[in-house]
Amino acid sequence: MIIMKTDATEEQIAQVITEIKKYGLRADISKGAFRTVIGIIGDETEVDFARLALLPGVKEAMRIETPYKLISREYSKLIEGENEHRVIKVGNIEIGGDNPVFIAGPCAVESKEQLLRIAEGVKKAGAHILRGGIFKPRSSVHSFQGLGAGGQEKAEEALDWLREAGRKFELPVITEIRGESQVDLVAEYTDILQIGARNMYDQDLLTKVAKKGKPVLFKRHFGAGIEEFLSFAEYMVAEGNKDIILCERGIIPIGKGKNYTRYTLDLAAIPAIQKETYLPILADPSHATGRRDLILNMSCAAIAAGASGLMIEVHYNPAEALVDGQQMITPDELKDVIDACQKISKLIVPMRNKK
Q: Where in 22-81 is the site for a second copy (CB under 8 A)?
A: 24, 40-44, 67-69
Which 89-148 positions form the footprint of a second copy (CB under 8 A)?
Answer: 137-144
Our finding on whether 4 is near a second copy (CB under 8 A) is no
Reference 169, options 132, 194, 135; nearest CA is 132
Quick one: which of 297, 317, 332, 353 contacts a second copy (CB under 8 A)?
297
Measured from the CB atom, the residue of 74 and 180 that comes closer to a second copy is 180
C-alpha to C-alpha distance for 342 and 19, rounded to whole angstroms: 50
Our finding on whether 353 is near a second copy (CB under 8 A) is no
Q: Cα separations (Å) of 231 from 68, 69, 80, 206, 226?
A: 5, 9, 21, 12, 8
Our finding on whether 82 is near a second copy (CB under 8 A) is no
The pairs formed by 263-270 with CB atoms below 8 angstroms and a separation of 24 or more are 263/222, 263/287, 263/288, 263/289, 263/290, 264/288, 265/289, 265/298, 265/301, 265/302, 267/301, 267/302, 267/305, 267/307, 268/305, 269/220, 269/226, 270/302, 270/305, 270/306, 270/307
C-alpha to C-alpha distance for 298 and 307, rounded to whole angstroms: 11
Least distance from C-beta 141 to a second copy, angstroms? 5
CB 198 within 8 A of CB 215: no
Least distance from C-beta 311 to a second copy, angstroms? 16
C-alpha to C-alpha distance for 201 and 41, rounded to whole angstroms: 18
CB 136 within 8 A of CB 110: no
Measured from the CB atom, the residue of 74 and 293 that comes closer to a second copy is 293
Reference 146, options 179, 189, 101, 118; nearest CA is 179
Our finding on whether 3 is near a second copy (CB under 8 A) is no
Quick one: which of 33, 50, 319, 351 contacts a second copy (CB under 8 A)?
351
Least distance from C-beta 139 to a second copy, angstroms? 5
Our finding on whether 213 is near a second copy (CB under 8 A) is no
Least distance from C-beta 86 to a second copy, angstroms? 19
Least distance from C-beta 50 to a second copy, angstroms? 19
Our finding on whether 151 is near a second copy (CB under 8 A) is no
Using CB under 8 A as the binding criterion, the count of chain residues that bind a second copy stands at 88
Which 163-192 positions form the footprint of a second copy (CB under 8 A)?
Answer: 178-182
Measured from the CB atom, the residue of 234 and 313 that comes closer to a second copy is 234
Quick one: which of 168, 225, 320, 353 contacts a second copy (CB under 8 A)?
225
Our finding on whether 21 is near a second copy (CB under 8 A) is no
Measured from the CB atom, the residue of 205 and 314 that comes closer to a second copy is 205
Q: Cα 225 from chain centroid?
A: 16
Which 313-332 positions form the footprint of a second copy (CB under 8 A)?
Answer: none
Least distance from C-beta 92 to a second copy, angstroms? 28
Quick one: which of 36, 232, 249, 278 contacts a second copy (CB under 8 A)?
232
What count of other Cβ atoms lies within 10 Å of the Cβ of residue 351? 9
Among the listed ranges 30-38, 90-98, 113-121, 295-303, the one in contact with a second copy (CB under 8 A) is 295-303
Which 233-272 positions form the footprint of a second copy (CB under 8 A)?
Answer: 234-235, 238, 251-261, 264-272
Our finding on whether 275 is near a second copy (CB under 8 A) is yes
What count of other Cβ atoms lies within 10 Å of the Cβ of residue 206? 24
Our finding on whether 278 is near a second copy (CB under 8 A) is no
C-alpha to C-alpha distance for 301 and 307, rounded to whole angstroms: 9
Least distance from C-beta 177 to a second copy, angstroms? 10
Q: What is the DSSP letter of 181?
A: G
C-alpha to C-alpha distance for 50 and 48, rounded to whole angstroms: 6
Measured from the CB atom, the residue of 11 and 153 that comes closer to a second copy is 153
